[in-house]
Amino acid sequence: MATDNHFPLTPCGYFNAGLCRSCTHLAVPYREQVALKQRRAEETLPCDEWFAPVESAEFGFRNKAKIVVTGTPEHPRLGIVGDGRGQDLRDCLLYPPIITAAHETLARFIARAGLVPYSIPDRMGELKSIILTASPIDRLMIRFVLRTEELVPSLLAHLDWLVDRLPVDVVTANIHPHHVALPEGPTEIPLYGDDVLDMSLGPLDLRLRPQGFFQTNTDITRVLYATAAAWVDETDPEEVWDLYCGVGGFAKSVARPWRTVRGVELSEDAVRAAGGPPTFIAADAGLWARQQDSAPDLLIVNPPRRGIGDLAEWIRDSPIDRVLYSSCNLRSAADDLGTMGFRAVRAQLFDMFPHTGHMECLILAERSTGSDG
What span, in angstroms and rounded, lies between the C-alpha atoms of 199 and 360? 20
**C-alpha–C-alpha distance, residues 109 and 317, integer Å:** 57
Q: CA–CA separation, 87 vs 228, rounded Å?
A: 39
- Annotation marks residue 20 as catalytic: no
**Three-state secondary-structure class, residue 373:** coil
341 Cβ contact partners less than 8 Å away, ≥ 6 residues apart: 316, 367, 368, 371
Distance (Å, whole) CA 307 – CA 311 = 9
Largest CA distance in the chain: 68
DSSP assignment of 98-119 equals HHHHHHHHHHHHHHHHT-PBPB
Q: Determine the Cα–Cα distance for residues 68 and 117; give it in Å rounded to an integer.
A: 9
Out of 20, 92, 328, 361, pick the active-site residue. Answer: 328
Q: Other CB atoms closer than 10 Å to residue 8's CB: what's the count?
A: 11
Kindly list the distances between the CA atom of residue 163 and the CA atoms of 185, 265, 323, 332, in Å, as whole numbers in the listed order.
Answer: 24, 33, 45, 43
Q: DSSP for 180-195?
A: SS-S--SEEEEEEE-S
Would you say 190 and 320 are in contact if contact means Cβ atoms under 8 Å apart? no
CA nearest neighbour of 224 among 204, 244, 196, 197? 204
Residues forming the active site: 328
